[in-house]
Amino acid sequence: MKLMGHMIAGYPDIKSSIDVGRGILEGGASYLEVQFPFSDGNADGILIQNASMESISKGFSPKEGFKIIKTLAGEFPKARILAMTYANIIYAYGIYNFIKDLKEAGGYGLIAPDFLYTKQDHEGIRGICAALDVKFIELVTATSSSARIKEIDSKSNAPLLYVVAREGITGASTDISPALKANLTRIRKLSKKELYVGFGINSKEQVKSLEAFSDGFVVGSYFVKCVDATKGKKSKVKKEVDFISELKEATMSLLN
């Protein structure tokens, strides 16, 4: 099984968030989502939302996000580093400019969950991604029809599909139910791409139970919890916290 780790750009601060990314990648993640925080992320649970708001309050801007991606892509050339954010951020920046700057920073792909898939690609974002060789990661759910999954599979320029494990927001634990396994089996028959399962994946036990049904898993709130726990270790005596070793250990505990 492969891991797509997730970090909040600028949380708890710019320097520390880079160390968080380093730890996740050193721990063995194949992909890293760098979330550009937004004040109203409609898929974000409370942990990610609070982390995003703290980053924004400290002055985070998309330019900082691209700098973080550039730093990590330079240090981990084999890693596939993705920007994850919402449409408002991309619109405000300019769709073409956002994707161009992502590519120039060494970004591999983009996850933007509120740019819903349509055959016409009205916003043009997927066409721009294809032209600049940035992979646009599509999300599919239990309610996605077989016809829609086939269409997405044939049109997507990415090697994987992000399978949303359940309805709702991130953070809450996901039950690895027979229904989820059945849906993954259904999608597997419809798609030639790798399947990465996300939303509420936060334990080795969940990962093990999905091994036969998916190729990888997406983990976000789990890592925010790790950052929060590591922040709590700060004291007057020890002001510097080793986010790299802490997040590396947390990543390895999922994979090994």
Give the number of other Cβ atoms within 10 Å of residue 110's Cβ: 25
Interacting residues of 21 by C-beta distance below 8 A, sequence separation 6+: 5, 7, 32, 34, 68, 72
pLDDT tens-digit readout, 79-113: 999 999 999 999 999 999 999 999 999 999 999 99
Q: What are 127-152's pLDDT values in tens digits?
A: 999 999 999 999 999 889 999 999 99
Residue showing tokens 């994979």: 255
Domain range for residue 68?
2-255
Instruction: For residue 249, indicate whether it is catalytic.
Output: no
In three-state secondary structure terms, 142 is coil
Predicted confidence (pLDDT) per residue in 164-184, tens digit:
985 544 444 556 788 889 999
- Given 44, 138, 215, 246, which residue is catalytic? 44
Q: Is the pLDDT score of 236 beyond 80?
A: no
Q: 230 vs 65, which has greater pLDDT?
A: 65
pLDDT of residue 170: 46
Give the count of alpha carbons within 13 A of 46, CB side only.
2
| Identified catalytic residue from 33, 101, 215, 246 | 33
Q: How many domains does the chain have?
A: 1
Query: Between the CA atoms of 137, 140, 146 and 148, what dihedral angle is there, to the nearest 10 degrees?
Result: -60
Token pair in block for residue 125: 């974002």
Q: Are 65 and 83 in contact (CB under 8 A)?
A: yes
**3 with 28: CB under 8 angstroms?**
yes
- For residue 7, what are the β-bridge partners? 34
User: What stretches of the chain show up as alpha helix (H) in DSSP?
Assistant: 14-26, 46-57, 62-75, 87-93, 95-104, 125-131, 146-155, 178-190, 204-210, 221-231, 243-255
CATH number of the domain that residue 94 is part of:
3.20.20.70
Judge whether residue 190 has pLDDT over 80: yes
* 13 belongs to the catalytic site: no
Residue from 210, 143, 203 nearest 173 by CA: 203
Q: What is the pLDDT of residue 167?
A: 54
Out of 75-84, 145-154, 198-207, 242-251, least confident range: 198-207
Which pLDDT score, from 0 to 100, does residue 256 have?
87
CA-based nearest residue to 202, from 224, 180, 230 = 224
pLDDT of residue 142: 86
Locate 35 and state its tokens: 């979330």
- Residues 27-44, mean pLDDT to the nearest whole number: 85
Residues 6+ apart with CB under 8 A from 142: 164, 166, 167, 179, 180, 183
Higher pLDDT, 169 or 52: 52
Residue 149 CB partners (closer than 8 Å, separation 6+): 140, 161, 187, 190, 191
